[in-house]
A and B are shown apart, each in its own frame.
Chain A
Amino acid sequence: MREILELLERDAALSHHTVATMVGLPVEEVDARIAEWERTGVIRRHRAVVDWARYEDGGHGVEPAGRTGARVTAFIDVSVSPARGVGFDDVAVRISRFDEVRDCYLVSGGHDLRCTVVGPDIRSISDFVSQKLSTIDRVRSTATHFVLATHKRDGDTFTEPEPDHRLPVMP
């Protein structure tokens, strides 16, 4: 029942009751399926999409921190020398273990790994890059891009919603 997952992915706050009505299943079955997905890790967790810039009252450039004190986000491209048998995987796992690394992907193109890293300030991220990331064996180079403003994240547009121009009553 993929539709249930799609609905929850968009709005995890939907009640099971509402989800059941939407997909035309008994609520007990929806309860059971969601519980099963939570148990087996299909649903990793339920979380809110926070516009931190709005919370910070007009601040800019605040990416999803999800970590106490995090204020700054950077995308870091990492070039890695692959090794026989493991390719890039061992290095990717090692980088992923740092708490400040929010995402880590193996990508095509000029670099090998693309990471999202958060920290309380620019200094903390530059320290992370120079002390931790660059010193990992087989990491050849890094390119750090600090986020200046978030316009859209994961399908959510972080701007004012478009006003409803409809007249209140129309045939």
Chain B
Amino acid sequence: MRPLNATISAIPPSGIRRFFDIAAEMDDVISLGVGEPDFVTPWRIREAGIYALEHGYTTYTGNAGLPRLRELICADLASRYDAHYDPGTECLITTGVSEGLDLAFRVLLNPGDEVIVPEPCYVAYQPCVAFAGGTPVGVPTRAEDGFVIDVDAVEAAVTPRTAAVLIGSPANPTGAVQPPEVLRALVELAERHDLYLLSDEIYDRLTYEGTHTCLGAVPGARERTVVLGGFSKAQAMTGWRVGWLAAPAPIAELCLRVHQYTMLCAPHVSQVAAVEALSNAEGDVAEMVADYDRRRRVFVKGLREIGLECPEPAGAFYAFPSIRTSGLDAETFAERLLREEAVAVVPGSVFGPSGEGHVRCSYATALPQLEQAVERIGNFLRRL
């Protein structure tokens, strides 16, 4: 047989798969390994989806997505973050941030271009760069700094081939929120070296300390920045596969060109539901965000009380405690914790080399289970 695509063959399968297989065979597992809300989509949004089905919204939409949805997204970005995009030419509805990433890299990169990706980071970032013919260049962030990006380290990684920097804030897996001064420094760096910026802001609403800064609103950023967001996390709509991309018109236009041939459009029903999510679900979102914040406080305190150092996660719904005191590497820790105490976490090493020594714990789990998980992790640590 002829060899399959070399780039894709070279990318290892996700390190999470193995844990999934073990967990699937066990009873009574408390899973802190899930990267999605434990809330079901708020009923008013689901009801809008049902209504859309009943009324036959089962067709394609325009490639860029429903105009009403794009208007609502741009109005929301403007009012919430003072980030201004034209719904007609600068906003595109995608099948989630995942597609947005893929589109943006295809449009921004030429073969061999490098993309700087501060890590630990979401598992799809680096493979998406590679799929688009680029080379991902990881730059470590440190627990001691609260996983805030070291802009000097980013600058040191810039080469003549560097085309872009990709950040996610609030971050999966660390929960870190990049402070405005770091974002400003990144934009200045991008201006100095003529780089594009990609900003994954899927967790924007899940910011518990301080307020979220949209990278597209940082002075100087707009013309060179692609902002990605969606409905999966704050509105608990992971399975609907609907998100958006906002970028200056020349970039958005090319993203639309790829999207129209590869995806055609995001699901029509999901877009109708997303209109309802932005029009009427603010109360539901606020309630879920408040709930995550309370669980965050209880869970992080619990982890610290059983002796795990845990950088303060200011956003998303993950805690990323250090497990160095256990003397185990992250992979062994996670596997033994799962087998011995039936608690599923994700080893930090899956998210990049500087995630080693940490595990990702999602607190998108009911409070009694979180409390029980802390107890089990405590038992595990005492036995070591």
Contacts and interface: CB of A to CB of B under 8 A. Distances in A.
Interface of A: 7, 18, 21-24, 162, 164, 166-171
B16 interface: yes
A171 B298 contact: no
B20 A167 contact: yes
Contacts of B40: 162
A15 to B, nearest CB: 10
Contacts of B346: 169, 171
B79 interface: no
A167 to B, nearest CB: 7
B249 interface: no
A164 B34 CA distance: 12
Nearest to B297: A21
A171 B34 CA distance: 7
A169 B16 contact: yes
B59 interface: no
A170 B16 contact: yes
A167 B301 CA distance: 27
B31 interface: yes
Given A21-B301, A22-B297, A164-B38, A171 B31 contact: no
Given A167-B34, A171-B122, A171-B123, 9 more contacts: A164-B38, A166-B31, A166-B36, A167-B20, A169-B34, A170-B16, A171-B14, A171-B16, A171-B350
A168 B301 contact: no
A168 B298 contact: no
A142 to B, nearest CB: 35
A22 B294 contact: yes
> What range describes how many residues of B lie at the interface?
20 to 34
Closest 6 CB pairs of A and B: A169-B33, A22-B294, A168-B23, A169-B20, A171-B123, A168-B31
B370 to A, nearest CB: 11
Contacts of A164: 38
Interface of B: 14, 16, 19-20, 23-24, 29, 31, 33-36, 38, 40, 122-124, 172, 294, 297-298, 301, 344, 346, 350, 367
B342 to A, nearest CB: 11
A168 B18 CA distance: 11
A168 B297 contact: no
B344 to A, nearest CB: 6
Contacts of B294: 7, 22-23
Contacts of A171: 14, 16, 35, 122-124, 172, 346, 350
| Residue among A23, A162, A171 with max Cβ neighbours from chain B (10 Å) | A171
Nearest to A168: B23
19 contacts: A18-B298, A22-B294, A22-B297, A24-B297, A166-B36, A167-B20, A168-B23, A168-B24, A168-B344, A169-B16, A169-B19, A169-B33, A169-B344, A170-B20, A170-B35, A171-B35, A171-B122, A171-B124, A171-B350
Nearest to A7: B294
Nearest to A163: B40
Contacts of B14: 171
A18 to B, nearest CB: 6
A20 to B, nearest CB: 9
A166 B38 contact: yes
Nearest to B367: A18
A12 to B, nearest CB: 14
A166 B35 CA distance: 9
A170 B123 CA distance: 10
Contacts of B24: 168
B15 to A, nearest CB: 9
A22 B298 CA distance: 6
Nearest to A162: B40
B298 A169 contact: no
A167 B20 CA distance: 8
Contacts of B35: 170-171
B75 to A, nearest CB: 30
Contacts of A170: 16, 20, 33-36
Contacts of B19: 169
Nearest to B302: A21
Contacts of A166: 31, 34, 36, 38
B52 to A, nearest CB: 20
B264 to A, nearest CB: 26
A109 B124 CA distance: 58
Contacts of A22: 294, 297-298
Contact of B34 (A18, A23, A162, A168): A168
A21 B298 contact: yes
A166 B239 CA distance: 10
Nearest to A3: B290
B20 A168 contact: yes
